A = this chain, B = another copy of it.
Amino acid sequence: MRPAPAAVGDVLAAVDTPALLLDLDAFEANLVALAAMVAGTGVAVRPHGKAHKCPEIAERQVAAGAVGVCAQTTGEAEVFVRAGITDVLLANEIADPGKASRLAALAGLATVGVCVDHPAQVALLADATAVAGTTLGVLIEVATGQRCGIATQEEALVLAAAVGQASGLELRGIQAYAGTAQHVRDPAARAAAIEEVAALVTAIRDAIGVRHVTGAGTGTFPHEIASGVWTEIQPGSYALMDADYARNTKPPPFRQALHVLGRVISAHPDRAVLDAGHKAVAIDSGPPVAPEGHEVVSLADEHAILVRGAGAEPLPLGAVVHLVPSHCDPTVNLHDWILAVRAGVVEEVWAVAARGA
């Protein structure tokens, strides 16, 4: 693991750029804001740890009322469980004996769940729990688009029966996460997408006789709560935020807590080149957003090129510059450390312990 790019007490100018920053005031406000939006609904919160991959953040989410966290990979689940999170749902499918046996072993240390959409996955998990002597919770994933999941009551009944026959597996309910709906710009269109998913989920839920339905992200969770169908939501980005989610709802219900800090390594009258490129900030949802008056016009692997608008001051050589990532999850995955900052000073340094997992 790389050395951390700063130490507790450092000011931002002393940070070894590029580096990932978390604004603690904004982050803490986001945890409070989510809790307030869910309070009184009876719906549980299980934040998605794929967004941050960081046990320190997961612990703070649990302290703020979360029942546990989601992981998206077996490696993430291992990191969270070993860090002391007592309830982890792998909100994804696995399809090889190696991961099944790691997951079954993990179920001896914490409450662990996993998704299925094929009888062969159930067989793998049944075999692994039989060897480990543990019990895994199983969620049947319902398809909400092109990704994983089953789409019919018949498939769900086959899976539920297979789970029922395995002594180390326990049917917990349904996983239904409408991934593409999260980033639909029109709030009414997002609500309509969730209504459609809710109808399918309700039919399958009633067919297999379960009550628990988990899913929902930062872009849609108020709709899943309003539907009365979901009993648990899985937002991840709310804690960090990014430019894409900020474009979804005006004003955004959450504050921008995550930044990539770059430094001007080449200064020109019309533009500045930062030492933060594709390897420091993800661009799958577009380029990062520069400070007001400047625009990121292109990125290379290790560089961002910022052009200044009329009236903006040139960015001087050596200056540190905050970029707002368009997509938080893959941006965090590029960094080994999160610098937790308050009032311009590094207050804590947290490992992205599940980076690359």
Q: How many copies does the complex hold?
A: 2
A69-107 contacts to B, CB under 8 A, are 72-73, 75, 92-96, 98-99
The segment from A35-43, A157-165, A296-304 found at the interface with B is A296-304
Does A29 sit within 8 A of B, measured CB to CB?
Answer: no
Q: Are B335 and A334 in contact (CB under 8 A)?
A: no
Residues of B within 8 A of A72 (CB): 301-302
Residues of B within 8 A of A330 (CB): 278-279, 301
Bound complex: CA of A73 vs CA of B317, how far in Å? 17
Bound complex: CA of A354 vs CA of B93, how far in Å? 31
Interface SS of A by simple majority: loop
Residues of B within 8 A of A94 (CB): 265, 275
Does A220 sit within 8 A of B, measured CB to CB?
Answer: no
Does A207 sit within 8 A of B, measured CB to CB?
Answer: no
Residues of B within 8 A of A73 (CB): 275, 302
**Residue among B14, B121, B275, B299 making CB contact with A284, cutoff 8 Å:** B299
Q: Are B279 and A120 in contact (CB under 8 A)?
A: no
Assess A273 versus B148: contact at CB under 8 Å? Given A94-B265, A317-B120: yes
Q: Are B263 and A96 in contact (CB under 8 A)?
A: yes
A271 to chain B minimum Cβ distance, whole angstroms, is 6
Q: Are B273 and A284 in contact (CB under 8 A)?
A: no
Q: Are A302 and B265 in contact (CB under 8 A)?
A: no
Assess A278 versus B284: contact at CB under 8 Å? Given A120-B318, A147-B273: yes
Bound complex: CA of A334 vs CA of B279, how far in Å? 8
> Looking across the interface, which residue of chain B has its beta carbon closest to that of A332?
B279
A175 to chain B minimum Cβ distance, whole angstroms, is 12
List the interface of chain A (C-beta within 8 A of B): 1-2, 14, 16-17, 50, 72-73, 75, 92-96, 98-99, 117-118, 120-121, 146-149, 179, 263-267, 271, 273, 275, 278-279, 282-284, 297-303, 305, 317-318, 329-330, 333-336, 355-357
Sample 11 A-B pairs with CB under 8 A, ordered by A number.
Answer: A72-B302, A95-B266, A117-B266, A118-B267, A120-B317, A146-B297, A147-B266, A278-B329, A279-B356, A283-B283, A283-B284
